[in-house]
Amino acid sequence: MSSTTAQNDGTAMPPAPQIDKTDPFPTTETDPYRVEATERCGFIVGFWLLLALLADSHIFGLEATHDLSQVWQDGIWIGVSGLGALVSAFVTIRLMSDREPGKPPRHIPAVAGLVISIAMVVVLTLEETRLMMDLFAMDPGVIWSATRPLWLFPLSILGFSLPMISLILARGGDRRDGVLGVLFSCAPIAMLSIPFLGGFDSAETARWFPMIYGVSGFALILSGVKLRSVLQQVTIAHVNKLSSRVFIVTLLLVGSLIWRKLSPDQTLSSSVDVVWVAPLFVNAVLSALVLAVIFNTPSKDRNRSAGFLLSYSALTLSVYLLCFLTLDFVSGTPLLPRTMWFYPLSLAGTSFVMISVTLLASETQRDKIVGILTAAVPCVATTAVAVAAFLFAVPLTASYSVLSGGTALLVYVGFAVAIFACGMIFGTYRTTQWPVVRERLRLLINRTSVVTRQILKNPMGLIGISILIAFITLAFIGPHIAPYEVDMTRDGTFDRLLPHSPEHWMGTDTFGHDIFSELLYGARTSITVGIVAAIISSVLGAAIGLYSGYAGGWKDEVIMRLNDIVLSIPWLVLMIIIAAFMGSIDLLGIILVIGLTGWSGTARLVRAQVLSLRERQYVEKARAIGSGDLHIIRAHILPNAFPLVFANTILTVAISILSEATLSFLGLRPYGVVTWGTMLSYAQSSNAFTIGLHWWIIAPGLCIVLVVLGFTLLGYALDDVMNPKLRKR
Amino acid sequence: MPHKSFRKVILKRSFFVVLTIFGIITVNFLLVNLMPGDPIHNMIPRDPKFNDEIRYQLIDQFHLDAPLWERYLIYMKNTLTLEWGDSYMQDRSVLAIIGVAMSWTLLLVGFSTVITLLLGMFIGAYAAYRRGGAFDLGSSGLLLFFYGMPIFWFAIILQLLFNSYPLGMDWWPQLPLGMYYDVVKYDEFEWNLPVILSVIQHMILPATTLAIGSLAGVTLVMRSSLIDVMTEDYIMTARAKGLTDYEVLRHHALPNGLPPMIALIAMSIAFVIGGAYQVEIIFNYRGIGFVTIKAIEDLDFPILQFVIVVGGVAVVVANFISDIILIYIDPRIKIA
């Protein structure tokens, strides 16, 4: 079962392999020259393709209709196709020359690629000549670019994919690389189908093509880069480690669904898709790894073929669903209603991988059975819900009514628990990882309790924590204790601008919502925006600061100069301008805007800290005994920089809440939700004071002040406690 | 003063300043040029007279058919030679609009910065001097409370406060809420005593708002930097010499506690230049912020572009100046 036996088997095998009848994937020696050629080819090809795509889209803009630039644009593609032809020709000659008798010919795809590339060059050149003629006649009616994305990019990429497949097929006997390589090389071809599927406006969507094909380019690079050597070393331990990450992703996903009140289908926004992309991607990677493990363990276990099938289905499922999401994103509207199949299928992917991991990793029968059962729950439950919805004839296009409210909550919480339990129960995970995790948890709890005690002794900390506990409780229960429901997507049910009265403690606003209820609802959104945005900017800032400080030299210099630029640009204005263009923005958008622009301060702080940390003796010693950079960062630098980052994050939460209020006030309001900032901005724009609704302005403002005060006090207190240098004073 | 290395540091710094300014201008160019949509349609939203002929003329005039790098060069040249074009909506050049607005903003910011500095240094010094006392705790708490306020909210509250007679106090001062002096056009603005008085009267509320908003930062930095200094040995020596508390503070503690303040002040001035938006909008004060928000409403791009550039450059230059001052007044500071 362990990886060492697997590798021993592989290397000890005689040159003429005795083919194991029960092993569907025999391994043979590979020609190192071919392998290297493939890797190099893939890398070069992908690199140039990406470069061409970037040049094309950024310099000229794919929607450019100016005829002059069209010429140059096509010039790029003629070049690319020419390169494709060269690569194909090289591969064809190479493969034909050392073709071994008795083996199937591998060069056929390469020949096809050659033909296509040459055809592209010819067609483009002809078209170009014609276009030049038209250009002199100055006929703006020839907008030839409209249909171009439909065939130009697909065909040119096909010209690359095919020889790559040829190379991968030819590069030796080991099928595992062959399968994965072909899968990766096929990714661009799978994406080719995208333009042909929907009947959408190609001119409008052409802007997104660089993205799609950029991904394809990366896939091509991947098919060439040292995938093989990496994958050969994957063991079940890696998979176990990664699968614990899957739970985190899944939990986040479930949390976000619960947070969105479980109606993602009513307003299908790109943010919902973003939420789904991450788990799908992790799924795909995980299933690919599981596949690699299966290939790496030449055991006669019958679990293996089952595991292979399951992981393979999971991989395909995830990849196709990812393509589908991309397609939806490109076309702007969902092509098919998702309610019935999307969630079941994507969760089925996770289930499949989990089951195959369980099959591979469980030591005892009991672990195996429990693991399979728990892993199957999400898939079965969603399918059941979908089938029920189908049986009870909920129309597919109707807004999603089955999975809403309490039922959905239960279902998804059930998923979370089930998937988590499944992970905990795998055999090896429990025996190898769990003690480590437990020890870490114990340390964490110890340290936290020490810090907490110290903070509670500090008067600032005590006040801060009390304020925060009050408000965070309010954030949790606010919407439930609010006297009236607030749905900002609709007008309220009350008369507008009522003064304060026993029914409406603070009156009603211009849309007929109860202001007091809005205040309670706003607690949740405002605090969420603050916390999530602060986490995003802190993680980003810490990562950049860590890299910059640790790498040093010119990289550090470049990053810090960029940081200076980012720090100097007035983001507020910029955001408002962008908002003026985008029209409305949802809550996630606001969070991203605040989170993605606020990192530079943190980056600076972390960099300064890392600069001093990396000169410490223990880091030097770690380096002397041969620790890698990643290990040093993770084991020595990050833990020492963490207190600083943490205290800074708490302070950033305060700033983020203020930023949200300011953005709302200046016109960048999240759509469909109520925050304290939006309340203030509506109050200001309808002159709340002159019409006597004082509370409309005073209450949200006071809430903001208090929450910000709470976070600031806590931040300072944490700084005091966690930085022993300060404590001396 | 160590001349050679000193000059070298300044040279390196100025090189970075130039680099950063170029970066800001470039980012600005890229943002405008990579925005979705056709610039011509953005410029002429709904004009029935618009036709292809005008369209081609515009393309020709603004080099819209030129490749990106050529447009970038043209843009760079125009930006650096201050040919910033004309506003879409007002019949004036962008440079003039931004210049006038900037002078008003500078006036406001200068006024409020003076208030902030005086108040902040005094409160900070006193709080540090009586550390842990009632004044220290009270002022820190109050200032953190102010720090947590959205500035626009505070401005609204102040407006309310000074536009009514709270609790029927008829002696309560009434201050103007904004709007403007007796001026028709900016160009014809005439400075005489009544106008100056009116300007000052109009500036009290906005300046106070800004000052109180940035007071917390100044005071807290002042306080902590003084506390740092106060634990040094030379303060002990000074005390032992028999100097009075005031003399110790004035001659030994304050000068050594100043460097962090200078960096902070430079930063806050720069940010306020780029960001007195909230106050300017609430009080209808025609500075940069007001012009910007109006330009956003009108989608007046030439103004918006250069507001961003000016704001960014202000931050960079202020930082640079504070660095230089810091190096001059404190030769111990090694700036890499």
Cα separation of A359 and A239, whole Å?
A: 13
Q: Which residues pair with A670 in a beta bridge?
A: A585
Nearest CA-CA distance, residue B31 and chain A, Å: 9
- Which residue is listed with tokens 């928000």? B293
Q: Is the pLDDT of residue A712 over 60?
A: yes
In this structure, of A488-492, B26-30, B242-246, the range with the lowest mean pLDDT score is A488-492
A564 contact B CB<8A: yes
Q: Which residues pair with A508 in a beta bridge?
A: A514
Q: Is the pLDDT of residue A371 over 80?
A: no
Four-point Cα dihedral A384, A390, A396, A400, nearest 10:
-50
* % of chain A beyond a pLDDT of 70: 46
B210 contact A CB<8A: no
CB neighbours of residue A705 within 10 Å: 20
* Of residues A195 and A718, more confidently modeled: A718
* Mean pLDDT, rounded, for A374-383: 67
Q: Alpha-carbon torsion B6, B11, B13, B14, what sign? A: positive
A140: closest chain B residue by CA: B52
Kindly give, in sequence order, each residue whose CB lies less than 8 Å from that of residue A612, ignoring residues fewer than 6 positions away: none
Q: Alpha-carbon torsion A192, A193, A196, A201, what sign? A: negative
pLDDT, tens only, A136-169 = 444 444 444 445 555 666 666 666 667 666 666 6
* Of residues A2 and B223, more confidently modeled: B223
Predicted pLDDT at A58: 46
B200 contact A CB<8A: no
Q: For residue A530, name the pLDDT band (cuts at 50, 70, 90).
A: very high
Q: Which residues pair with A585 in a beta bridge?
A: A670
A466 contact B CB<8A: no
B166 contact A CB<8A: no
* Mean pLDDT, rounded, for B104-128: 86
3-class secondary structure, A102: coil
Cα separation of A355 and A286, whole Å?
A: 12
| CB–CB contact B156 A697 (8 Å) | yes
A569: closest chain B residue by CA: B312
- Which residue is listed with tokens 């949509």? B37
A667 contact B CB<8A: yes
B22's tokens: 């170029």
A509 φ, ψ (degrees, to nearest 5)? -95, -170
3-class secondary structure, A592: helix
- Which residue is listed with tokens 């040029």? B33
Q: Is the pLDDT of residue A247 over 70?
A: no
Cα separation of A374 and A371, whole Å?
A: 5
A321's tokens: 């669903």
Nearest CA-CA distance, residue A37 and chain B, Å: 37
B254-275 vs B193-230: helix crossing angle, rounded to 10 = 130
DSSP string of A208-277? GHHHHHHHHHHHHHHHHSSHHHHHHT--HHHHHHHHHHHHHHHHHHHHHHHHTTT-TTTS--HHHHHHHH
Q: Alpha-carbon torsion A641, A644, A646, A651, what sign? A: negative
| CB–CB contact B20 A580 (8 Å) | no
Q: Which of B31, B152, B227, B284 to mutate to test the interface with A (most CBs of A within 10 A)?
A: B152
A690 contact B CB<8A: no
CB distance A589 to A675 below 8 Å: no
Domains in chain B: boundaries: 3-36+84-329
Q: Which residues of B touch A697 (CB under 8 A)?
A: 153, 156-157
* Of residues A61 and A178, more confidently modeled: A178
Q: Which of B70, B144, B229 to mutate to test the interface with A (most CBs of A within 10 A)?
A: B144
Cα separation of A246 and A356, whole Å?
A: 14
- Measuring CA to CA, which residue among B327, B287, B258 is closest to residue B117? B258
B147 contact A CB<8A: yes
Q: In which element (H, E) is residue A158 found?
A: helix A148-170
Predicted pLDDT at B175: 67
| CB–CB contact B149 A705 (8 Å) | yes
B87 contact A CB<8A: no
Q: For residue A315, name the pLDDT band (cuts at 50, 70, 90).
A: low
B292 contact A CB<8A: yes
pLDDT, tens only, A599-626 = 888 888 888 888 888 888 888 888 888 8
Measured at the CA of A147, the angle between CA A126 and CA A114, to 5 degrees, comes to 50
A574 contact B CB<8A: yes
* Class of residue B48 by CB neighbours under 10 A (exposed 0-12, middle 13-18, buried 19+): exposed
Cα separation of A704 and A710, whole Å?
A: 10
B183 contact A CB<8A: no
DSSP string of A686-702? TTTTTTT-HHHHHHHHH
Predicted pLDDT at A710: 92
A685: closest chain B residue by CA: B282
Query: What distance, in Å, lies between the first and last C-alpha atoms of chain A?
Result: 58
Query: Which whole-number Å values give the CA distances from A633 to A439, A525, A723, B217, in the listed order?
Result: 21, 35, 20, 33
Partner-chain residue, chosen from B34, B299, B312, that has the shortest CB–CB distance to A569: B312
Establish whether this prediction's ipTM goes over 0.85.
no
Measured at the CA of A117, the angle between CA A181 and CA A109, to 5 degrees, comes to 40
Q: Is the pLDDT of residue A360 over 60?
A: yes
Kindly give, in sequence order, each residue whose CB lies less than 8 Å from that of residue A409, ignoring residues fewer than 6 positions away: A258, A262
Q: Is the pLDDT of residue A699 over 70?
A: yes
CB distance B89 to B188 below 8 Å: no
Nearest CA-CA distance, residue A387 and chain B, Å: 42
Q: For residue A537, name the pLDDT band (cuts at 50, 70, 90).
A: very high
Percentages (nearest 5) of helix, strand, coil residues in chain B: 75, 0, 25
Q: For residue A295, name the pLDDT band (cuts at 50, 70, 90).
A: low
- Which residue is listed with tokens 């953190």? B144
Partner-chain residue, chosen from A60, A569, A665, that has the shortest CB–CB distance to B308: A569
B70's tokens: 């050529």
* % of chain A beyond a pLDDT of 90: 4
Q: Is the pLDDT of residue B21 over 80?
A: yes
Contacts across the A-B interface (CB distance below 8 Å): 136
* Mean pLDDT, rounded, for B287-309: 79
Q: Which residues pair with A521 in a beta bridge?
A: none
Q: For residue A534, name the pLDDT band (cuts at 50, 70, 90).
A: very high
Alpha helices in A458-570 (DSSP H): 459-481, 515-551, 553-568
B24 contact A CB<8A: yes
B73 contact A CB<8A: no
pLDDT, tens only, A415-441 = 656 655 555 555 445 555 667 777 888
Measured over all CA atoms, what is the biggest interatomic distance in chain B, rounded to whole angstroms?
A: 86
B145 φ, ψ (degrees, to nearest 5)? -60, -45
Predicted pLDDT at B157: 86
Query: Which whole-number Å values give the CA distances from B220 to A312, B96, B230, B261, in the listed order?
Result: 60, 38, 15, 10
Cα separation of B273 and B110, whole Å?
A: 10
* Mean pLDDT, rounded, for B261-279: 72
Predicted pLDDT at B232: 80
Nearest CA-CA distance, residue A684 and chain B, Å: 8
Cα separation of A278 and A272, whole Å?
A: 11
- Measuring CA to CA, which residue among B318, B328, B190 is closest to residue B263? B318
Cα separation of A50 and A45, whole Å?
A: 9
| CB–CB contact B274 A573 (8 Å) | yes
- Which residue is listed with tokens 């969902």? A334
**CATH T-level fold of B3-36+84-329:** MetI-like fold (1.10.3720)
| Average pLDDT score, chain A | 68
CB distance A145 to A205 below 8 Å: no
CB distance A92 to A172 below 8 Å: no
Q: Is the pLDDT of residue A25 over 50?
A: no
* Mean pLDDT, rounded, for A697-704: 89
Cα separation of A118 and B21, whole Å?
A: 47
Q: Which residues of A touch B35 (CB under 8 A)?
A: 581
Query: Which whole-number Å values give the CA distances from A263 to A159, A408, A432, A520, in the listed order?
Result: 43, 9, 40, 21
pTM of the model: 0.64
A45-49, A122-126, A268-272, B173-177, range with greatest mean pLDDT: A122-126
Residues in chain B, total: 336
Predicted pLDDT at A190: 59
Cα separation of A580 and B37, whole Å?
A: 13
- Measuring CA to CA, which residue among A83, A193, A77 is closest to residue A144? A77
B-proximal residues of A, 192-211, CB under 8 Å: 207
Partner-chain residue, chosen from B19, B67, B68, that has the shortest CB–CB distance to A561: B19
Predicted pLDDT at B94: 83
Query: What is the 3 state secondary structure string of A601-654?
Result: HHHHHHHHHHHHHCCCHHHHHHHHCCCCHHHHHHHHHHHHHHHHHHHHHHHHHH
CB neighbours of residue B158 within 10 Å: 21
Kindly give, in sequence order, each residue whose CB lies less than 8 Å from that of residue B110, ignoring residues fewer than 6 positions away: none
| CB–CB contact A561 B20 (8 Å) | yes
Q: Which residues of A touch B68 (CB under 8 A)?
A: 58-59
* Mean pLDDT, rounded, for A362-370: 68
In this structure, of A446-455, A483-492, A536-545, the range with the lowest mean pLDDT score is A483-492
Instruction: Report the Cα A506 to chain-centroid distance in Å.
Output: 42
* Mean pLDDT, rounded, for B176-189: 55
Nearest CA-CA distance, residue A243 and chain B, Å: 39
Q: In which element (H, E) is residue A46 found?
A: helix A32-54
| Average pLDDT score, chain B | 77
Cα separation of B50 and B40, whole Å?
A: 10
Q: Is the pLDDT of residue A26 over 50?
A: no
A48-57, A523-532, B96-105, B174-183, range with greatest mean pLDDT: A523-532
A102-111, A282-291, B84-93, B276-285, range with greatest mean pLDDT: B276-285
Nearest CA-CA distance, residue A571 and chain B, Å: 8
Q: Which residues of A touch B137 (CB under 8 A)?
A: 459
CB neighbours of residue A306 within 10 Å: 14
Query: Which whole-number Å values give the CA distances from A692 to A579, B160, B165, in the listed order?
Result: 31, 11, 15
